Amino acid sequence: MERYSRQIAFPCVGKDGQAKLGESKVTVVGCGALGTVAAELLVRGGVGSVQIVDRDIVELSNLQRQFLYTERDAAERLPKALALAAHLKAINSSVEIHPVVTELTGSKAVSLLRGSTVVLDATDNYVTRFTINDACLELKLPWVYGGALGSRGMTATFQDHGACFRCLFSELPALGAGDSCELEGVLASATAIVAALQVAAVMKLIIEPNTMQGCALEFDVWKGSFHTIPLERDDRCPACKEGQRLFLADDGLSQTSFVCGRNSVLVRAGCAELDLAKLARVLAAKGLEVRQTKFSLRVEALEREIVLFADGRALVNGTSDAQEARRVCNAVLGS
């Protein structure tokens, strides 16, 4: 136990707590700015098994805030889950690392998360978070939410007997209303703090779950402010009170896509219909160049042209990579 001696010396962990960590399996969904830090802390802390789930590849722009990845990983465009798994193994070979290169969708969520002790959300979109929430409610698993943008961050812990994510965020934000770090920017210090707080919550859920309080924590590292928000269960919540599992029922809610031309990708924008006029105003307010016709909306962003249609489709021009197209849509639409 020499490896974990300083952690064991902390009274709230001790030998018994360290043993519980060693017997646990934590699933980290997302291997970006939050997921890389969280996975490293979990592996260094001696969690027995860590599953990492991500669909994307390593890019040069990731290296500013996504820990452990190297320039070589980016040059080889390695899948994030596989690259991260290799680095984690080099840190602690006694921990079981299970990389899964896939998108966590409604049809896959329950099978991917089954067997976990705790789930840690390190994703960048609301559809996946709502899917994690539904799957964890179905499996009666605790999970820890995290998000960061600019210099701000937020975490929250959800357990089967308390408020769920849909009690905190009742509905998906309207397309275009959400924010993304690709357009708004983000400090690595903010993402690192969020991930560290998430891992502390995960360890507490494993070692002494009955002491967890129902609250969310918000902070701003630039302003130096921290405050908590009480979490109360919504008696009208469709997920935890009424038992609806909407996000497990339809993969169409996720941003599936297919290549439709030599340098264009067609993406499902995540809803059945778009109010093009309203969306145009929202995107223009963000400083994006928007051109509207009767049947479509054209947006210039991130060196790509996005054509949005009223039936919920988005055509991304300038790439033939489906993952790149989804990334651009997530950034612009804030979904």
Residue 195 sits in the same domain as residue 283: no
Residue 259 sits in the same domain as residue 180: no
Last residue within a domain, chosen from 206, 234, 249: 249
Last residue within a domain, chosen from 219, 249, 279: 249
Q: For the chain, what is the mean pLDDT?
A: 87
This prediction's pTM: 0.78
CATH code for the domain in which residue 191 is found:
3.40.50.720
Q: Please tell me the predicted confidence (pLDDT) of residue 293.
A: 73
Q: Using only the alpha carbons of the chain, give its radius of gyration.
A: 20
At 287-322, the pLDDT tens digits run: 888 888 766 788 888 888 888 877 677 878 888 777
Residue 245 sits in the same domain as residue 309: no
CATH code for the domain in which residue 309 is found:
3.30.310
Residue 162 sits in the same domain as residue 21: yes
Name the residue among 52, 48, 45, 94 with its Cα closest to residue 69: 52
Q: Is the pLDDT of residue 29 over 80?
A: yes
Contact 65, 186 (CB under 8 A): yes
Cα–Cα distance measured from residue 321 to residue 258, given in angstroms and rounded to the nearest whole number: 9
Helix residue spans in 250-315 (DSSP H): 276-285
CA 211 to chain CA mean position, Å: 25
Q: Please tell me the predicted confidence (pLDDT) of residue 45.
A: 98
Q: Is the pLDDT of residue 51 over 50?
A: yes
Residue 122 sits in the same domain as residue 162: yes
The arithmetic mean of pLDDT across residues 185-208, rounded, is 95
Q: Please tell me the predicted confidence (pLDDT) of residue 317.
A: 84
Residue 240 sits in the same domain as residue 259: no
Task: State which residues form the domain around 245.
Answer: 2-249
Query: Residue 23 CB: number of other CB atoms within 10 A?
Result: 12
The arithmetic mean of pLDDT across residues 129-139, rounded, is 96
Q: How many domains, in total, are found in the chain?
A: 2
Q: Please tell me the predicted confidence (pLDDT) of residue 263.
A: 72
Cα–Cα distance measured from residue 128 to residue 203, given in angstroms and rounded to the nearest whole number: 23
The arithmetic mean of pLDDT across residues 100-122, rounded, is 94
Q: Please tell me the predicted confidence (pLDDT) of residue 256.
A: 44
Residue 303 sits in the same domain as residue 236: no
Residue 295 sits in the same domain as residue 230: no
Residue 26 sits in the same domain as residue 136: yes
Residue 210 sits in the same domain as residue 319: no
At 204-259, the pLDDT tens digits run: 999 998 888 778 999 999 999 999 988 999 999 999 999 999 899 765 444 444 44
Residue 285 sits in the same domain as residue 325: yes
Residue 284 sits in the same domain as residue 195: no
Last residue within a domain, chosen from 220, 249, 278: 249
Q: Name the burial class of residue 313, with classes exposed (0-12), middle (13-18) and buried (19+) by CB atoms within 10 angstroms of its CB.
A: middle
